[in-house]
Amino acid sequence: LVSKDRLIDPKIADAAFSLAKDTISDPVEGRFATVLLRVSDIQPAVNRTFADVKDQVKDKVATTKAETQLQAQLDQVEDLRSAGKSLKDIGNELKLEFFEIPQVDRTNKDAVGKPAIMIQDSQGVLNSAFSSGVGIENDVVELSNGGYAWLDVIDITAQKQKPFDEVKAEAKQLTIAKERSRLVTELANKLIERADKGEAMSVLATAAGAAKAETTPPFNRTTTPQGMSRDSVTRAFTLAKGKAGSAPDSNDKNRIVFKVTEITPAPALSEAQRTTLTSDLKNAISDENLSEYVLGLQARLGTHIFEEEFKKATGRATDEQSPQ
């Protein structure tokens, strides 16, 4: 459930809260997209006492206070940077945590292959670092927990190829894994050919060194029976009855060879199911169009998406409060 004040687009909010239960709106041209609205449930507004909301009020006051303090500290750091102080000196002066990273690559590995930046949003910091240069004052990096990170690039090591002795063991493992994958895929393709020609799966299982062939219970696109993987289920639904196929197992180390022995047509949709499916498809199309639009803007303008605000704008934010 979501209250009206949680929808930041006034036009969409007004349209949503003017609908009766289980009715679908006409297309509503909102701030970010044109949408169709459907109200699945309505609960009367509830006037809560202070005792009911005091914990929320305390949390909000504490959050507001913390944000104010954080902004003040942000301004302090920027002022000290403008005065020419190093990040290390600023960290000591303001008692902020300072990390000195001797060496890091784009995958957040140090010189010996261990994680170098030990914070949750390390990739954001890395992206900023690798798009910067020595002596450049970088913009502050916003972290997902509401905090900030600053960085300076002290030196850049030119990219170079590792000596063979350093990568010999890794290269050997990759070569073995690649060859094994090729041989397994080759064997799977041969078994598929034999299955399509009518050989029993039990015979093929013995030929492949498996203990036995297993028959799954009936399943649909959204279920994964024992012995199958999501990839094999997806592949199975592309095959005709009597045809065989293969796909990686759940660990992506082996391949599952299977044969479709029976296909049960889906029953006709009831009117309620048809209505639900139509609504779901419309919502999916709307979401896809909005996503493409936002991704296009982000690629062109380099925008940063504030996920919480995006959810509010598209009506996806939920709240435990009843609609009011």
The confidence score (pLDDT) of residue 121 equals 79
Looking at residue 318, its pLDDT comes to 45
259: which strand partners?
Answer: 244
pLDDT of residue 266: 83
Pairwise CA distance, residues 45 & 22, whole Å: 19
- Condensed to tens digits (0 to 9), the pLDDT of residues 250-304 reads 888 889 999 999 999 888 888 888 898 898 898 889 888 888 887 887 777 776 6
Q: What is the pLDDT of residue 312?
A: 64
pLDDT digits (tens, 9 = 90+) for 8-34: 788 888 888 888 888 888 888 887 778
Give the pLDDT confidence score for residue 36 in this predicted structure.
86
Distance (Å, rounded) from C-alpha 198 to C-alpha 259? 11
Q: Could you tell me which residues come within 8 angstroms of residue 133 by beta carbon, excluding any fewer than 6 positions away?
A: 153, 156
So what's the pLDDT on residue 321?
40
Helix residue ranges, H only, the chain: 10-16, 50-82, 87-94, 122-130, 164-196, 201-207, 230-236, 271-301, 307-313
Q: In this structure, what token pair is assigned to residue 98?
A: 């300072």
**Within the chain, which residues score under 50 in pLDDT?**
318-324
